[in-house]
Amino acid sequence: MARIAEAAVRLNRSTVPAGKLYPFGGFVDIGPVAKAPALAIILWRMGPGAVFPPHDHDPVDVVTLCLEGSCRAHHFEIEGPRPPHESRERFTLRQTLDLHMTPGRCSSLTRTRDYIHTFQAGPQGVLALDINTSLPGKGSFSFLDIQTEAVDAGQRLFKGNWKAL
């Protein structure tokens, strides 16, 4: 992931294909730029203040690169065993990253590190690029509902549960 992130931050915005973006969930316009068997490059845009809800990627590693505007990225990991997506039981999450992303800055996640993330667009909105590398295993994806108030602010612990969009 580090090498992908290193290459991503050197991208020239003018060389990134525009791609066709499609509305998704009422909060983001998203669309593929390129796809290969183990790689997908996805462009996404959110308007000012929009929130891309917390979600996981498994078994996908992702580098997100901010191209235009800004956003706040928050990453989390589940404390203890990962509940199945079908479960609606609450569990504990630890916030592992809080990053203000501007053009040229990136965040990354793997199936074992920082694997849940959420974004909130800045005042001018955000245009970003996700570089997804698919790993062996059954693919899954779910959104989460994470309480805004920490149950332990010092340890950055929150309660959350899987949810359908």
Q: Are 98 and 105 in contact (CB under 8 A)?
A: no
Here the tokens at position 20 are 């066709």
CATH number of the domain residue 17 falls in: 2.60.120.10
Tell me whether the omega of the peptide bond preceding residue 136 falls within 30 degrees of 0, making it cis.
no
pLDDT on residue 14: 66
Domain count, the chain: 1
pLDDT in tens, the chain (165 residues): 555 545 555 556 666 777 799 999 999 999 999 888 888 899 999 999 999 999 998 778 999 999 999 999 999 999 999 999 899 999 999 999 999 999 999 999 998 899 999 999 999 999 999 999 887 667 678 999 999 999 999 999 999 999 976
Q: Is the pTM of this model over 0.85?
A: yes
* Burial zone of 154 (CB within 10 Å; 0-12 exposed, 13-18 middle, 19+ buried): exposed
**Dihedral, CA of residue 47, residue 48, residue 53 and residue 59, to nearest 10:** 60
Give residue 19's domain range.
2-163
